[in-house]
Structures are given as structure tokens and as C-alpha cells.
């Protein structure tokens, strides 16, 4: 009899991460083909935040909760810290994989990265988006011990939206380029894109 070994993350779950990143990356490129700036294409759009990043957070939560049910059996074997380290690596791997695919789809499309603003500010925005998702993933790993995982899930989803709609929308994007400033857009009659 062949006994299957339970890996912390089965390969199909990595495939889901790849599919999420590829779907939203391709969609962003196809629907923003007239304005090929990496920030305008990947960061200012809402779909990646609303759908794929939210689904990525839900996937991470589901993976953490899979092992949360075994905390006592794992704890009796003095492997709780080991398990949490594994889950941290899982978050690092999946978030890195997601953004590697999401960003590289644009990078390999062969256009200027930062046509609307400075490369330094644009790079900061790209890295910050990655770090925020990494932080939210680590927050979800806290569900392994925390008694109310639903609270952490809700907090992670809200912080994901907060980062995009408030931090990026109100400050970072405007610092990157004035075309994200509502007043500038009104003066110059920029209504979309």
C-alpha cells in the first residue's frame, strides 16, 4: 500500500496562486493597452485588489486553518513553532510567487515601466504593495494560535482595501504622478486611463 505524504502545501495550491496572478495580470494588460505605465496598469486598477489579492488572502487563511485544527496534536509533539515557521515560509513563497508573475507579465510586455512618474517612486509603490500583502499574510498566520480567526481574516481584507483606496489612492499614486490628483485630472480633462 502506498501511503501519501501530506506536504504542507500541495502543488495544486501553488497552481491556484499562479492562475490568480496570471489572470489578473493578463486582464490588466489587455484592458489598459492604451496607457502602458506599470503603475497605471498594475497598481491603480481595482480588480487585482478586490478579486485576486482577496482570494490570495482567503487561500492563505484556508491553509492556516487546515493546520489549526491539529494544534493540540502538533503541540503535544512540541512542533508548534516549527509549524508556524512552515506557515511563514508558505506565505513568503506564495506572495512572492504571486507578485513575481503579476509584475513580470508587464515587465516582459516590452514597454516603458514608469512613463507617468519617477522610477524611484514607482519602485517604492511596487515594493510596498508586495510588502503589504506579505504583512497581511503573516497576520493571517497568527490565526494558528488566535482564538478568533474570523477577526484576523476580516482585518486582513479591510487592510488590503485600506492600503489600496487610502494609502495608494490618496497619497502614493499622487506622489508618483499628478495624473492621479483629482484636481489635476479635472483641469486637464482626464476622465479615464
Considering beta carbons, is residue 145 or 188 the nearer one to another protein?
145
Among the listed residues 17, 43, 74, 132, the single contact to another protein using CB under 8 A: 74
Q: Which residue is it, cell 484592458?
A: 31
In the complex, the smallest distance separating the C-beta of residue 4 from another protein, rounded to whole angstroms, is 5
Does position 184 interact with another protein (CB under 8 A)? The reply is no
| Interface pick for another protein out of 46, 77, 145, 188 (rule CB under 8 A) | 77
Q: Report whether 40 contacts 32 (CB < 8 A).
A: yes
Task: Please list every residue from 81 through 110 that binds another protein, using CB under 8 A.
Answer: 82
Secondary structure of residue 113 in the 3-state scheme: coil
Output the CA torsion sign for 155, 40, 127, 119: negative
- Report whether 185 contacts 174 (CB < 8 A): no
DSSP state for residue 190 in the 8-state scheme: -
- Does position 75 bind another protein by CB under 8 A? yes
Residue (of 118, 20, 25) closest to 60 by Cα position: 20
Of the candidates 27, 50, 54, 79, which one interacts with another protein according to CB under 8 A?
A: 79
Query: Is residue 78 part of the contact set for another protein (CB under 8 A)?
Result: yes
Where do contacts with another protein occur on this chain (CB under 8 A)? 1, 3-6, 66-79, 82
Amino acid at each position: 500500500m502506498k501511503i501519501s505524504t501530506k506536504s504542507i502545501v500541495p502543488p495544486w495550491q501553488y497552481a491556484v496562486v499562479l492562475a490568480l496572478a496570471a489572470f489578473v495580470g493578463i486582464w490588466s494588460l489587455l484592458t489598459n493597452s492604451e496607457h502602458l505605465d506599470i503603475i497605471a496598469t498594475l497598481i491603480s486598477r481595482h480588480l487585482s485588489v478586490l478579486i485576486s489579492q482577496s482570494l490570495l488572502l482567503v487561500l492563505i487563511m484556508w491553509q492556516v486553518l487546515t493546520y489549526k485544527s491539529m494544534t493540540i496534536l502538533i503541540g503535544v509533539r512540541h512542533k508548534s513553532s516549527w509549524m508556524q515557521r512552515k506557515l511563514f515560509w508558505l506565505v513568503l513563497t506564495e506572495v512572492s510567487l504571486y507578485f513575481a508573475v503579476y509584475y513580470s507579465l508587464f515587465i516582459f510586455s516590452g514597454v516603458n515601466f514608469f512613463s507617468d512618474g519617477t522610477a524611484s517612486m514607482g519602485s517604492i509603490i511596487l515594493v510596498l504593495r508586495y510588502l503589504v500583502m506579505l504583512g497581511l499574510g503573516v497576520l493571517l498566520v497568527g490565526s494558528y494560535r488566535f482564538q478568533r480567526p474570523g477577526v484576523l481574516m476580516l482585518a486582513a481584507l479591510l487592510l488590503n482595501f485600506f492600503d489600496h483606496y487610502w494609502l495608494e489612492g490618496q497619497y502614493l499614486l499622487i506622489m508618483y504622478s499628478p495624473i492621479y490628483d483629482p484636481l489635476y485630472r479635472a483641469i486637464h480633462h482626464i476622465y479615464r486611463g
